Structure 1
Amino acid sequence: MEGVKHIVAVASGKGGVGKSTVTVNLALALSAQGYRVGVLDADIYGPSQAQMLGVKEGERPQAAGEDKFFPLEAHGIQAMSMAFLVNTREPMVWRGPMVVGAFQQLLTQTQWDNLDFLLIDMPPGTGDIQLTLSQRVPVSGAVIVTTPQDIALLDARKGIEMFRKVNVPVLGIVENMSTYHCENCGHEAPIFGSGGGERIAAEYETQVLGRLPLSLSIRELADSGNPSVISEPDSPVSQTFGEIAKRVAAGVDGAAEQGPTISFSE
């Protein structure tokens, strides 16, 4: 894609595991490490990146020529979302082809400005949007977000298998809501189970990029439009996102260095 070096899909097999929160904080962590970063909100039915980045309702992108438009910018991140183009209070009552068409327009008609990484906040599941992405543009890698819960891991496996079928490298697993830390007594409890990230990473020969706690502040800061990485840059959560960002960048570089294997025969 013009203006983009690497595309990274942030995906999950099911909703409700914190994929969008991970996407925006990962983007901000990469930006803090000196990369030029963009976020494309590919969840047409339920876009959330506008609120998480603190973009005011009704703010619209500017045209860039006849068939292109500039992304909006927030916290140093270039961003594009369906929420910038429609009234977010109205439901998108669209069939599959209309959703795919809208996603393709967001993907190909946004005038990204010299990005090192474009993170795509994927909708849950393994359907039209995922297939369209893999067919339309070269994806450098995918990050799978899950909770340790067995039900979530079932769907995470499907996400990994899908990316493998379309030859997209899985960079690793982010285990969200790993433990709950009580702010009053200090007790920690693995509410959604434990060890799920390690099991699925071992099964598919990938890595656990990081583990994030079930934390009130992560949710509150994302909802307020000032995610953890910029609001609490020295917190353990932000440091974890920083480590995840380093591993993602290293994984993308490693995948690019390997490249395809070419053999010749008579």
Structure 2
Amino acid sequence: MAQFTYSRLAHFLKLSVNKCSVLRTGAEIKHGPTCCVHLIRCQRSVDSKALQERQKQQMAKGLPKQKPITGVKQVIVVASGKGGVGKSTTAVNLALGLMANDPSKSVGLLDADVYGPSIPKLMNLKGNPELNDHNLMIPLTNYGVPCMSMGFLVEDVAPIVWRGLMVMSAIEKLLRQVDWGTLDYLVVDMPPGTGDVQLSISQNIPVAGAVIVSTPQDIALLDARRGAEMFKKVHVPVLGMVQNMSVFQCPNCNHQTHIFGSDGTRKLAETLGVALLGDVPLHLNIRETSDRGQPVVVSSPDSPEAEAYKKVASAVVQRLEEVST
């Protein structure tokens, strides 16, 4: 039966049964009882590749087309795989650091953490945004940075108990129904993890690059790696990583202690092939100024802590230039 099938196939493909022949796929058909099986496997391989190509085309059709935010030149997302690593504090001080390094640049701040908005507290802002003549929300501004957050639209203690579709609708409004004016950079404080919000933002707007924040602790680095890999999958350039809470310096004796480990984020950045944008220490001044709504970059601009954030901002601008070229 195998010889009969092989002869029929050879005749159909106009192949000589007396000579070795090569299919268009490069697979060689030879004499022997296994030649039919070999040919069928080659055909299956061709069919599988064609199916994968069709699936890619269908998925591409189903994805939303990226549309820039009106007036915004570049979007920088600040993300982390795990909560509690200082991502929001980093996002705020990064935005202020960009302006401090170059006062000619205009920077906005978007709080995309719908369930746990932190920007109102960190930027000392309260109230509801007004609407302009085009029915767009006008961001609340402090320290020269226009800000938008779900925290401006709900009460401080009100829990946001929403399902995915409602969250996506809220993100769409925060992206499209805000009058940002003209911005050189829009810094987006992403929620922790790799969920719907991250995918929605990455697929709906062109993102210039992502900044991954992590402590040097092993458990935080596991999730930070997932976050970096997610952005690579959705074709968002990873500008680099920020090693937050890298070292604690005792205010009394100046002894340094690596509470969360030493250089873990630096080693992960090397493994991923991305830049280490900078180290930010674990310092009481950062915590106190953040809780007061007076970020360290503006309240203590000459402090070593503020300088650390400014160095991160400089590294981010440099990486954006490298990515764009």
**TM-score range for the pair, normalised by the shorter chain length:** over 0.9
Q: Which residue of 1 aligns with 2:321?
A: 253
Bigger Cα Rg: 2
Amino acid at match of 1:91: P
Measured after TM superposition, the shift of residue 252 of structure 1 is: 1.3
Partner amino acid for 1:132? S
Give the whole-Å Cα distance in 1 for the aligned partners of 2:281 and 2:266: 16
What residue is the counterpart of 1:43 in the other structure?
A: 113
How many equivalent pairs are there?
255
Report the AA paired with residue 234 of structure 1.
D
Residue 66 (structure 1) shift: 4.3
Bigger proportion of residues as helix: 2
Higher RCO, Cα 8 Å, sep 6+: 1
Percent of matched pairs sharing the same residue: 52
1:86-105 alignment to 2 at 5 Å?
A: 86-105=154-173
> What does residue 260 of structure 1 align with?
none
- Could you give the per-residue CA deviations for residues 207-261 of structure 1, whole angstroms, max 9, x where no partner exists? 111111111110110110100000100011111111111111111122122xxxx
The alignment's TM-score, normalised by the length of structure 2, stands at: 0.77
Q: Please say if 1:13 is aligned against 2:84.
A: no
AA in 2 matched with 1:50: P
Shift of 1:86: 1.0
Q: Which of 152, 166, 182 is 2:250 aligned to?
A: 182
Q: Which runs of 5+ in 1 are unaligned?
A: 258-266
Gaps of 5+ in 2: 1-68
Q: Provide the residue aligned with 2:276 in structure 1.
A: 208
Per-residue deviation, residues 144-173 of structure 1 (Å, max 9, x unmatched): 000000000000000000000000000011
In the alignment, which residue of structure 1 is the partner of 2:5?
none
Deviations 1:185-223 (A, max 9, x none): 111110110111111111111111111111111011011
Letter in 1 for 2:292: S
TM-score by length of 1: 0.94
Shift of 1:67: 3.7
- Give the aligned partner of residue 264 of structure 1: none
State how far apart, in whole Å, the 2-side matches of 1:73 and 1:215 are: 27
The corresponding residue for 2:239 is 171
The alignment's C-alpha RMSD in Å is 0.9
Residue by residue, what CA displacement relative to the aligned partner does 1:110-159 show, whole Å, maximum 9, x if unpaired? Answer: 11111000000000000000000011100000000000000000000000
CA contact (8 A) 2:164 2:196 kept: yes
2:293 matches 1:228 = no
Tell me the distance in 1 between the aligned counterparts of 2:280 and 2:263.
13
Mean Cα deviation higher: 62-71 or 227-236: 62-71
- Secondary structure of 2:121's match? helix
3-state DSSP of counterpart to 1:178: strand
Give matches, 1:1-266, under 5 Å.
Answer: 1-32=69-100, 33-34=102-103, 35-56=105-126, 59-257=127-325
CA offset at residue 22 of structure 1? 0.3
The amino acid that maps onto 2:111 is D
Asked whether the equivalents of residues 122 and 292 of structure 2 are also in contact (C-alpha less than 8 Å), the reply is yes
